[in-house]
Amino acid sequence: MAENNTKKNKDNFNFPPIKGKTPPKKQNYGGFWFYIILAAILIGFNFFSFQKEPVKSNWQEVKTKMLEKGNIDKLSVVTNRDFVKVYIKPNKIEDYSQLVSKGFKNSSPGPQFVFTIGSLEKFEDNVDDVQKAFPTEAGNVSLDYEQEYDGWGNLFSFIVPLLIIVFLWMFFFRRVGKGSGMGGGGGIFSVGKSQARLFDKESLVKITFKDVAGLAEAKQEVEEIVSFLKHPDKYTKLGGKIPKGVLLVGPPGTGKTLMAKAMAGEANVPFFSMSGSDFVEMFVGVGASRVRDLFKQAKEKAPCIIFIDEIDAIGRARGKNPNVGSNDERENTLNQLLTEMDGFETNSGVIIVGATNRADILDSALLRAGRFDRQIYVDLPELKDRESIFKVHLKPLKLGEDVNVEFLAKQTPGFSGADIANVANEAALIAARKNKNAVEKQDFLDAIDRIVGGLENKSKVIKMGEKKAIAYHEAGHATVSWLLEHAHPLLKVTIVPRGKALGAAWYLPKERQITTKEQLLDEMCSVLGGRAAEELVFASISTGAQNDLEKATKQALAMVTIFGMSEKIGNLSYYDSSGHNDFSFTKPYSEKTAELIDAEVKEMVGNAYIRAKKLLSEHREQHKQVAELLLEREVIFSDDLEKILGKRPWKDDDEDTMKNEVLVDEGTENI
């Protein structure tokens, strides 16, 4: 029978796993249940103790009804609590109705009564008196002394604060652990463990190379790495060595992380992914320890890929002077990375992929062959690439019939993959806002305008006088750039406020692999066209040209100090592309040269300004027409300018290279 019961119980607790589903993970509640049961026993023990609770009484009653009658066996004084326990002789218990009603029997153990006393001496005197008066009845009553402690109360008062402290301690360190990105249960003790997320066959990454549009060369290189890992023999049998590291370098949003994700999706080997900043922690030595742990894990899983995003967080060039501007913790982390990258055999099948926007600031030791042997430059997409990126991101959208991918790609020179993804999304949102059934061309154009110039600010109140100034300023830019051979082709001019800008001239810049001095000077001149127009038309200047002046000054300074385009300074460049200059607060030229640089910059900007003013005064009437048209329509296009200023006489020198447009956004400016 007993056996049967046991079996039955067992069956009740063993649920069979549901088909097709993994059984829920068993949680370890063992410790938890133990404490619950213990607490229940303690509480139960307190409540249902076998000993009966004594009846409360007082000295008078005890004296007259018990002591003087000779019914008491023993009196026990609890000295630390000032009360007395009364033990009645067993054969007299049933004489007391209070005891009987409480369930006391002759056999029940004492004490049966308790009463409080004022002072011990007084009580002893009282008992003495009674014993003298009733020697036969009370003479033999023994007077005991004891001390009593509330065992459980004491235990609880000791244990509860201890438990609270332990709980807080665990809570705090768990938080520290999680805060440092250690994941659940890491705690303080695993602070030195690597933070890498591991993707393997179970944790599927769905992105493949098909999701990465364009970037043909970069993709090919990365595909080759995947192939190294899949078929290492093909490469090693001819004596070749598999590269150890690959560095993806390029401007933000160009798809470096996406490429790495695709690599994870395609490679079919374990893929450790982490960011450079994951190595950094508030504790000294943690970074190096994490690097060690990462490589240890990777070696165990080889062949595999380690991906470190934003590697410049740890890979920045180490300082030469240990006391100036150096960061010991970061340098230790980097040193450990350098050691690990060179510390394992080339063919051990661990390939490190790094991604950064700033390869120029990385430590040269990191970039040397044998560590990051290969650098893959992921550039801003060109026309054809933009087209294919648009195709990827337009796929989920419901498109209107007038949407032409090629046109969109042409309208977005200089946009990164992330910008294009944003344009597609923004266009869909704009169309939805207008309750359209499909996303149309105009929605895309609005989205592009919004991304380049910011949100249209129609509610901004602009006084008529200010509006006129803005129109003449923008017309100045448009007119001057129209009249200059090397200025970028104008797309449109607007005086609708957007973001911080009150008006803007939009250009479609041409791609140039190299830029000549004439081109730079023409651009500077068109940038200053706004201020020149203000001075000519209103004979007063405003703060609106600040953005233009900043741009022109920076350009002139770069021409003089970096590109060696000043005759007086000569063919010198003070630019340090290595990023290793620890003493950047000291200028690499003398005070005399500094003065010369100042004078040259001033002269260059001054000459460009004089040219702009000259052009505008020569075409004063046309400039006025452009400004008035702008005031009337708020947005005018290059066709309108052509009607006023005539066709530009120059054949577009880069017409053949127009396929490869790249944008330097000159769109927005404040007036």
Give catalytic residue positions. Answer: 474
Alpha-carbon separation of residue 302 from 214, 229, 244, 422 (angstroms): 30, 9, 13, 38
Q: Is the peptide bond before 303 cis (omega within 30 degrees of 0)?
A: yes
In the complex, the smallest distance separating the C-beta of residue 309 from ligand ATP, rounded to whole angstroms, is 6
In sequence order, what E strands does 219-303 have?
245-249, 271-275
Query: Please, which residues bridge with residue 356 across strands?
Result: 249
In the complex, the smallest distance separating the C-beta of residue 408 from ligand ATP, rounded to whole angstroms, is 14
Nearer to ligand ATP, 256 or 613 (CB): 256
Nearer to ligand ATP, 214 or 245 (CB): 214
In the complex, the smallest distance separating the C-beta of residue 385 from ligand ATP, rounded to whole angstroms, is 7
| Sign for the pseudo-dihedral over CA of 88, 90, 91, 94 | positive
Residue pointed to by tokens 């992105």? 207
Nearer to ligand ATP, 65 or 384 (CB): 384
Q: Following DSSP, what letter does each residue of 582-617 receive, concatenated?
A: TTTTS-SS-HHHHHHHHHHHHHHHHHHHHHHHHHHH
Contact 461, 488 (CB under 8 A): no
In the complex, the smallest distance separating the C-beta of residue 306 from ligand ATP, rounded to whole angstroms, is 16
Contact 324, 248 (CB under 8 A): no
Contact 559, 565 (CB under 8 A): yes
Nearest to 270 by CA among 306, 235, 241: 306
Nearer to ligand ATP, 255 or 476 (CB): 255
Nearer to ligand ATP, 67 or 420 (CB): 420
Under the rule (CB under 6 A), what is the footprint of ligand ATP? 212-215, 250, 252-258, 355, 357, 389, 392, 417-418, 421
Contact 661, 382 (CB under 8 A): yes
Nearest residue to ligand ATP by CB is: 417
Residue pointed to by tokens 């880069």? 654
Nearer to ligand ATP, 262 or 478 (CB): 262
Q: How many degrees, rounded to 5, is the angle at CA 662 between CA 659 and CA 668?
A: 135
Contact 260, 353 (CB under 8 A): yes
- How far apart CA 76 and CA 73 sit, in angstroms, is 10
Nearer to ligand ATP, 257 or 411 (CB): 257
